[in-house]
């Protein structure tokens, strides 16, 4: 029986996972509403809200609907059943979406207009702009549209997940009755959803219109002789979870490809549709897609704000975006050819995106070129298009090195990309492995084996973030390089576990899920509890994306009751309820959202009865899936300078009063209190300024060195 249950009655309180996630997405919307950010950055946050909701409905809401349909009433530790969760989710989401559109209509669009960036409906365009749009429709849109009539001769079509359509009600004007014939117009994905109008407006070129608005305006041309009584854009969200038993699948790659095709046909879980649809036609439509009215979200504005991401790239206005930040390359790491010498001399710890991800790319590229390198082993969970990492691995294989890559083809929503990379790698002789049955390979590990003299030496990179150069500029993460045998030997064992057979792998330095991570984290929490009871110093600081695991939460509650001071920096889902007298009054929870996505996972335990605190970083959140259903690697921070630096990072986050919000016992987030007369403090801005200060110091030092060099006088012959 769990520590948190007694006669099936919860002993401790818990927040609901889904409602906690929605509270996080509300925080994302607050970034879009914040005047502290440049306008186009606020527009991007608005897009993130929609993207987040898409995944939430595709996976989490879909799962709850399946529970209800199957009759399985599974209650979480918070006590809410699936029906009650769905009722609350629908209520919260409708309010969230309404506020999202208010932000667009009442804040962002008017402010952009003041900056001479116009998002217009067709009726708001000038005469010249309307002519341009009509020509654009005739030449670029009309030829690729295919209206689909719905009648006995034309069955209801299969509608693709998250694709854009127009639902039209058609009437024959020559008959006395109103037929309300249904027609559906798919909008091909090849068409841009936001179009820059190519006609000058008082010398201002930034005029944009949504594609759906254009199609609505000229839709009558698709039905000559008929009267279009209504035409509204819509999109359907479907259940997008993959269903297959790995142990029953002979070819995992092929099975996932089949499932990706089936994802477009999953059960509908949400309909987003613009207002103005014919009510009678709407009832017929819902019956066809097998969706209940409570799962309909009527939108007063453009559908799918995630399409605003394309507008961000389209609008060339640097003054409305964040200023460009070039990550710092620490001194000594700007010489790629010395990367192995630098790691051999001393462990290296980097803090992205303030410090560059380029040293890892250099590490891999040098390994590909170096004739002394014999083998490279790498895990890949998510990476970018045209990735230099993929190219380096392929080049290493062409150079005759043994290259083994663990590609996680079950990385949600990146399955197709990862299958593509896997095949490209296999084509050049890379050994591609898909990990262990029933487990996702989520650890961020890379190992290079190099001959040095008469010995083979291993060099290792471990990280908290994905091997993705693009997100490394947007996510905060830690990178760790070492050649120490006590760590590299265990990484070698981890790779052997992933590629071969090992029922009981042994790890002493690394904490590896699903083998040793969970038990060790509980051990460290209980140690702090014992120290507090003994009157010793006891403190826990954790930075993670999500906190869901019930046993971990229960142990944190017990630590709080013993007097342990606990600071949790949880960006997203948090099931732990803080600040309850007698239960969690010593626990403070904050979430930080800013320019960069907080992605690091760092764990600090005071360990006052030992020689020094225990500090770890790695790939794992505190969720059951990370502890039990994924391969995760968490590594110790042991170098004195690195330990001081990581503790300073955590303390800096705890001082944040600008981007941080404090989680209250009622589930709401509030701004931290400001001391009288003090300005809001941003941890991200502090890290950025620190990197800029170091860059300036390095530049000055380099200049001084160049000036101190003796001048060589060349005598002409």
Instruction: Give the active site residues.
Output: 442
Helix (H) or strand (E) holding 496: helix 485-499
Nearest C-alpha neighbor of 462 from the set 321, 572, 620: 620
Cα diameter, the chain:
105
Three-state DSSP state, 244: coil
Provide CB contacts within 8 A for 538, sequence distance 6+.
528, 529, 531, 532, 559, 562, 563, 564, 565, 606, 608
In terms of Cβ atoms closer than 10 Å to its own Cβ (0-12, 13-18, 19+), residue 301 is: middle
Q: Residue 539 has which token pair?
A: 């403190």
Nearest C-alpha neighbor of 470 from the set 597, 656, 314: 597
CA 423 to chain CA centroid, nearest Å: 25
Phi-psi region of 304 (alpha: psi -120 to 50; beta: other; left: phi over 0): left
Angle at 449 between CA 446 and CA 453, to 5 degrees: 150
Q: Which residues pair with 196 in a beta bridge?
A: 208
Give the C-alpha separation, 462 to 620, whole Å.
12
Torsion angle, alpha carbons of 58, 59, 63, 66, to 10: 30
DSSP 8-class letter at 266: S
CB 55 within 8 A of CB 24: no
Q: What stretches of 276-370 show up as alpha helix (H) in DSSP? A: 279-289, 308-314, 339-345, 358-369
Q: Residue 429 has which token pair?
A: 């002789």
Q: Residue 528 has which token pair?
A: 């702090």
Q: Residue 132 has which token pair?
A: 């341009």
Q: Which residues pair with 402 in a beta bridge?
A: 375
CB 98 within 8 A of CB 187: no
Q: Which residues pair with 669 in a beta bridge?
A: 663
């Amino acid at each position: 029986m769990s520590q948190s249950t007694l006669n099936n009655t919860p002993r401790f309180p818990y927040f609901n996972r889904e409602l906690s996630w929605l509270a996080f997405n509300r925080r994302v919307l607050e970034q879009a509403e914040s005047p502290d950010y440049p306008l186009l950055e606020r527009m991007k946050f608005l897009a993130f809200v929609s993207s987040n909701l898409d995944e939430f409905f595709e996976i989490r809401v879909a799962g709850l609907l399946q529970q209800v349909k199957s009759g399985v009433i599974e209650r979480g530790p918070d006590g809410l059943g699936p029906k009650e969760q769905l009722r609350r989710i629908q209520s919260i989401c409708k309010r969230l979406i309404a506020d999202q559109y208010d932000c667009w209509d009442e804040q962002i669009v008017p402010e952009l207009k003041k900056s001479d960036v116009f998002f217009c409906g067709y009726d708001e365009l000038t005469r010249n702009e309307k002519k341009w749009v009509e020509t654009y429709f005739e030449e670029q849109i009309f030829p690729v549209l295919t209206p689909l009539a719905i009648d006995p001769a034309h069955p209801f079509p299969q509608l693709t997940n998250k694709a854009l359509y127009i639902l039209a009600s058609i009437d024959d004007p020559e008959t006395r009755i109103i037929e309300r014939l249904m027609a559906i117009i798919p909008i091909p994905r090849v068409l841009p959803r936001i179009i820059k109008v190519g006609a000058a407006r008082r010398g201002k070129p930034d005029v944009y219109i949504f594609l759906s608005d254009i199609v609505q305006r000229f839709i009558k041309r698709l039905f000559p002789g008929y009267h279009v009584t209504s035409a509204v854009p819509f999109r359907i969200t479907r259940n997008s979870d993959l269903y297959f038993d790995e142990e029953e699948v002979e070819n995992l790659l092929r099975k996932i490809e089949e499932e990706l095709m089936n994802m477009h046909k999953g059960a509908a879980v949400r309909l987003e549709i613009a207002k103005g649809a014919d009510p009678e036609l709407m009832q017929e439509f819902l019956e066809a897609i097998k969706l209940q009215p409570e799962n309909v979200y009527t939108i007063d504005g453009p559908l799918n704000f995630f399409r605003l991401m394309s507008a961000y790239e389209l609008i060339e206005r640097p003054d409305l975006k964040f200023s460009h930040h070039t990550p710092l390359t620490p001194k000594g790491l700007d010489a790629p050819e010395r990367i192995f010498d630098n790691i051999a001399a001393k462990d290296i710890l980097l803090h992205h995106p303030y410090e560059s991800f380029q040293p890892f790319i250099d590490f891999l590229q040098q390994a590909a070129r170096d004739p002394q390198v014999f083998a490279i082993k790498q895990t890949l969970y998510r990476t970018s298009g045209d990735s230099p990492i993929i190219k380096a691995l392929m080049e290493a294989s062409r150079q005759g090195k043994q290259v083994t890559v663990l590609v996680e083809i079950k990385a949600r929503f990146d399955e197709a990309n990862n299958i593509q990379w896997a095949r490209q790698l296999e084509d050049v002789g890379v050994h591609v492995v898909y990990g262990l049955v029933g487990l996702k390979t989520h650890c961020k590990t890379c190992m290079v084996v190099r001959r040095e003299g008469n010995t083979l030496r291993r060099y290792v990179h471990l990280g908290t973030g994905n091997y993705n150069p693009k997100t490394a500029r947007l996510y905060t993460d830690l990178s760790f390089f070492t050649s120490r045998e006590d760590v590299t030997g265990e990484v070698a064992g981890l790779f052997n576990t992933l590629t071969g057979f090992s029922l009981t792998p042994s790890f002493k330095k690394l904490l590896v899920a699903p083998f040793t991570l969970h038990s060790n984290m509980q051990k460290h929490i209980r140690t702090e509890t014992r120290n507090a009871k003994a009157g010793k110093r006891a403190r826990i600081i954790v930075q993670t994306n999500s906190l869901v695991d019930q046993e971990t939460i229960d142990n944190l509650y017990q630590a709080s009751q013993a007097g342990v001071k606990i600071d949790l920096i949880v960006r997203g889902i948090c099931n732990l309820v803080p600040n309850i007298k007698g239960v969690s009054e010593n626990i403070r929870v904050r979430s930080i959202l800013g320019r960069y996505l907080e992605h690091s996972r760092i764990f600090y335990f005071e360990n006052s009865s030992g020689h020094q605190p225990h500090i770890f970083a790695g790939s794992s959140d505190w969720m059951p899936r990370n502890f039990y259903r994924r391969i995760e690697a968490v590594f110790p921070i042991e170098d004195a300078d690195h330990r001081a630096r990581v503790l300073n990072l955590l303390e800096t986050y705890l001082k944040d009063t600008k981007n941080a919000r404090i989680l209250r016992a009622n589930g709401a987030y509030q701004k931290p209190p400001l001391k009288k007369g003090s300005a809001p403090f941003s941890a991200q801005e502090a890290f950025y300024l620190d990197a800029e200060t170091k860059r300036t110091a390095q530049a000055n030092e380099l200049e001084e060195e160049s000036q101190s060099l003796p001048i060589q006088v060349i005598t002409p012959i």
